Amino acid sequence: MSEIDITALKRRGLSFLRLSAAEWRELQETRGRGTKFTSVFPHATARAGRARAPAILLIEGGKAGAGGMLDPTEEVDPQLKLAWIKSIQAVATLESRVSFDYVLPVVPATLEALIGDDVPSRHKAAAYRHLRSRSAFEEVSPKFGEWLLGRLAGREENYRAFRRMMTLVAPPRQFRNGVALEQDALGLALKAFGVQTAEATALALSERPTALAGARLQEDVVIEHDARWISGWTLDSSDVTGRAVFTQGHEELQVFTANKQPLEQLFGVDLIYLNEMRRSIVMVQYKMMEPVERTKRQIDTGLGIITQTDEPEWVVPIDDQFREEMARMALFDQPDSPSRSYRMTPSPFFFKLVRRYGSTGGAGILLSLRHLQHLIEEGQLTGPRGGLRILYSELNGHYLRSETFVDLIRSGYIGSHSATTDHLETLITVALAEGRGVVAAIQRVLPDPRHSDFATMPDEH
């Protein structure tokens, strides 16, 4: 098993939540199926936990249910779960609500087995106290909590749970490198599919970091051992960092992430979205806007001297590599054969410009390839060393916002005609060869199980 550094997780603190067999069964019958839920405690008890910190759920074994015809008895096995405390909020004069999320199974099944017989002498008092405690929600002392988390993380079976938990500890909050760009591209793809907060019905992760590691899973989903591409594709599987499947009604979205170098070292990411139902493909290439030092000037108003700071300026470097990328896009950006599908533009290429060190919650600027070419040719936004100088006042709103762009993808109003997975694979191969990361999404209709023809259809690509 690859080692994972959970130092940052340990520093968050740890708490225990005890649940009876009946309570756990009730949680499994809720909409979240036990993967996320809230509990209400007196303020003093709620303070046993910390927001954005881990918790261990201690689920008692035993019988759940009254044993009658309407509520049959069910045997629940003792088990441990690793959870994330999302928030703690006062909801009444005397009570606070604690929100638990990303509840993940871990081994062993009991606190006794986790502590074991080889507990260090410095932790024996704390171990004794917690083993005999019946408190519903309680804080674990920092040192003992660190030791327990280390014990859990040392088990190979718990590796994936801790890797997913670590994505919650320090999610990117600024656009610095490929980590934040991949997160944004994944979010854009899920918005286009309409399942931004949905749970994945399948998830496969490699050992390299990926934005998919933070995806929610349905309770009954088993994480596969290896991320892999659709059967028949020729892409190098060693580049693949994750694969997830989301469903909505009769539609499915398969999302793949891939890169040839560590995500933290990437400064460019592509989102490639294939809508098989609309026969369209859209590619969004992310570019960082670099800040330009703002000029300050003194102005004599006659009543005194005031200091005026210029409007913030951003520059997108347009170097030889960028020009080569645009030239290659132009070659691919040719109208396909006539199609019955209407398009506002058959071009699949767009750029999303985001501010380096800007908040990941920022909207960014979306420009089509042809619009960007027009701006460069006009020279109105020419910046230092031939770069593209971005001033929001000069653009005057003449660009796409994310919400509008998502609607255009979903409706099939933009994108190339007659797109296939062959086109998708070609674009992915080129992006990886140029050292960029890729988030590839394929939206398709699920086969209808009522029609036997679908059961024998070969896997197309």
Same domain, 156 and 205: no
In this structure, what CATH number is given to the domain that contains residue 89? 2.30.130.30
Q: For residue 432, is it within any domain?
A: yes
Find, among 354, 351, 347, 241, the residue nearest to 291 by Cα.
354
- pLDDT confidence bin for 132, thresholds 50/70/90: very high
Identify which of 55, 67, 58 has the alpha carbon closest to the alpha carbon of residue 21: 58
Flag whether 388 is in a domain: yes
Same domain for 73 and 203: no
Q: Tokens 């405390």 label which residue?
A: 85
pLDDT in tens, 220-240: 565 565 666 666 676 776 788
The upper half-sphere exposure of residue 291, i.e. CA atoms within 13 Å in the direction of its Cβ, equals 12
Which has more confidence, 337 or 406?
406
The answer to whether residue 461 sits within a structural domain is no
Indicate the residue type of 339.
S
Residue 249 has φ and ψ, to the nearest 5°, of 65, -125
Tokens of 377: 């040719």
In terms of residue numbers, what domain contains 271? 178-455
Q: What torsion, rounded to 10 degrees, do the Cα atoms 218, 224, 227, 231 define?
A: -100
Domain count, the chain: 2
> Which of 112, 139, 169 is the last residue in one of the domains?
169
461 pLDDT higher than 70: no
Compute the average pLDDT of residues 451-456. 45
Among 169, 191, 215, where does a domain finish? 169
Rounded distance between C-alpha atoms, residue 374 and residue 296, angstroms: 31
- 208: pLDDT confidence band, cut at 50, 70 and 90? confident
Please return the burial class of 238, using the count of CB atoms within 10 Å of its CB with bins 0-12, 13-18 and 19+: exposed
User: Which has more confidence, 63 or 362?
Assistant: 63
Are 304 and 336 within one domain?
A: yes
In contact, 85 and 49? CB cutoff 8 Å: yes
The pLDDT of residue 347 is 85
Asked if pLDDT for residue 70 goes beyond 60, the answer is no
Q: So what's the pLDDT on residue 225? A: 52
- Which of the residue ranges 21-25, 39-43, 128-132, 343-347 would you say has the lowest mean pLDDT? 343-347
Q: Which of 207, 157, 162 minimizes the C-alpha distance to 56? A: 162
Return all residues near 421 (Cβ < 8 A) that are at least 6 apart: 230, 233, 274, 442, 460, 461
Do 373 and 300 share a structural domain? yes
Do 371 and 420 fall into the same domain? yes
Do residues 157 and 213 share a domain?
A: no
pLDDT at 455 over 60: no
Instruction: Answer yes or no: do 284 and 421 share one domain.
Output: yes
Q: 461 in helix, strand or coil?
A: coil
Shared domain for 150 and 200, answered yes or no, is no
pTM for the complete prediction?
0.77
Residue 101 has which token pair? 């999320």
Q: Is the pLDDT of residue 68 over 70?
A: no
Q: Tell whether 2 is covered by a domain.
A: no
Phi/psi at 353 (nearest 5 deg)?
-100, 120
| Residue 146: inside a domain | yes
Find, among 311, 255, 321, the residue nearest to 287 by Cα. 321
Query: Is the domain of 276 the same as that of 424?
Result: yes
Average confidence (pLDDT) over 209-223: 73
- What 3-state DSSP class applies to 333? coil
Question: Does 341 share its domain with 211?
Answer: yes
End-of-domain residue from the set 143, 169, 195: 169
- 286 and 191 both lie in a single domain: yes
Q: Per-residue pLDDT averaged across 391-402, rounded?
A: 83
pLDDT tens-place string over residues 416-427: 876 777 778 888
pLDDT for 289 equals 85
- Helix locations, 43-201, DSSP H: 43-46, 111-115, 124-132, 142-153, 159-169, 178-193
| Domain membership flag for residue 460 | no
Read off the DSSP letter of residue 384.
G
| Distance, CA of 119 to CA of 86 (rounded, Å) | 30
Calculate the average pLDDT of the chain.
84
Cβ atoms of residues 354 and 181 within 8 Å: yes
- Sign for the CA dihedral angle at 371, 408, 460, 434 comes to positive
Please check whether residue 1 lies inside any domain of the structure.
no
Q: Specify if 243 maps to a domain.
A: yes
Residues 361 and 219 in one domain: yes
Share of the chain above pLDDT 70, in %: 85
Per-residue pLDDT tens over the stretch 286-302: 988 888 776 676 777 77
* Residue 178 to residue 263: CA distance in whole angstroms: 5
Q: Is 128 left (phi over 0), alpha (psi -120 to 50) or beta?
A: alpha
pLDDT digits (tens, 9 = 90+) for 82-95: 999 999 999 999 99
Q: Could you tell me the sign of the dihedral formed by the alpha carbons of 439, 242, 34, 168, in that order? A: negative
**Phi, psi for residue 382 in degrees, rounded to 5:** -70, 130
